[in-house]
Amino acid sequence: MKICNVEPGKNYEPTVIALGNFDGVHLGHQKLLRCGLEKAQELGVDFSVFLFYPHPLKILYPERKLNLLTEHEERLKILEELGVNKVFVVPFTVQLAYTSPEDFVKNILLQIGAVHVVVGFNYSFGFQGKGDPELLKTLAEKYDFQVSVIHAQKLGSKVISSSEIRKYLLEGEIDLATKMMGRSPSICGRVIHGDERGRTLGFPTANIEVDEDLLVPKNGVYAVESEINGLRYGGMMNIGLRPTFKKESERTIEVHFFDFQGDLYGQKIMVKIKSKLRSEKKFQGPEEIISQLHKDRQQALYVLQQ
């Protein structure tokens, strides 16, 4: 998959382009991407995705926490796995935010070779989000390209959306989030030094530092798995304030991998969350927490074998 910039004056090959943020690349997104890929194959052209990076809200409302479901690199990897040939990654700026919907189509989409554009039913574009799928269809007639609008995808009675998945994860509802995403939700981050409390308890942990804009699920203990140096390891992850040992409210993400020997400090890893085991709780002391950790381990092993 090729990562492309939009260069003024450059001639681009014809392409089908999917528009959206694609945070989480959930089942709704995957339906849209499959439609775009089929259309590209039908027309005999590349299939491309157009992304603003960083997220527009990061520029327009820097004080907000974004709670993104996927890190940028992870999102790109998933898009490649789904058959995308090219991704146009365009830096979002305040100046760009003032681009009218028509100028966005005329000066950006057509310039990069759009012959067919695929969007979701609730896609908005241009200054103040004034462009919608109906306006896009009108502009398509004017500038001679085609548009496909993908209707809402549902899981039962619920519309599949990134916001719905965020809600589930913040409530610790891993199974529901997994069903909407079509895969396990994950946490990506770098392993940093902690206070090595887990090692003294017989359960050494990797402390994960994540980007401030990424969503971290509800506090609790989770069954997880990760690929490290090409091998798959199961484990259990604690997200929380460690109320047994800490009085201050410092939230940590700690993963104990089963049967792993080695040094992970400084490495970037992705942890797939398979199931929630229990909520966070305060223990009377080390003996009680060690007993609970052994129970958590057995439960996690059972979950990971399913």
Instruction: Render 15-36 in DSSP notation, one character per residue.
Output: EEEEES--TT--HHHHHHHHHH
Predicted confidence at residue 28, as pLDDT, reads 98
pLDDT of residue 75: 97
Nearest 5°: phi and psi at 131? Answer: -80, 140
List, in order of start, the domains of the chain with CATH numbers: 2-155 (3.40.50.620), 184-304 (2.40.30.30)
Query: ω into residue 133 within 30 of 0, thus cis?
Result: no
pLDDT of residue 243: 53
**Pairing state between β 114-120 and 146-150:** parallel
pTM given for the model: 0.92
Q: What is the pLDDT of residue 181?
A: 98
Task: Report yes or no: 212 and 190 within 8 Å, Cβ to Cβ.
Answer: no
pLDDT by 10s per residue, the chain, length 306: 999 999 888 999 999 999 999 999 999 999 999 999 999 999 999 999 999 999 999 999 999 999 999 999 999 999 999 999 999 999 999 999 999 999 999 999 999 999 999 999 999 999 999 999 999 999 999 999 999 999 999 999 999 999 999 999 999 999 999 999 999 999 999 999 876 665 666 788 999 999 999 999 999 999 999 999 999 999 999 999 865 555 556 789 999 999 998 889 999 999 999 999 999 988 888 889 899 999 999 999 999 998
CA distance 49 to 29: 11
| Longest CA span, the chain | 72
What are the angstrom distances between the C-alpha of 304 and each of 63, 152, 240, 260?
38, 32, 22, 16
Interatomic CA distance for residues 211 and 230, integer angstroms: 24
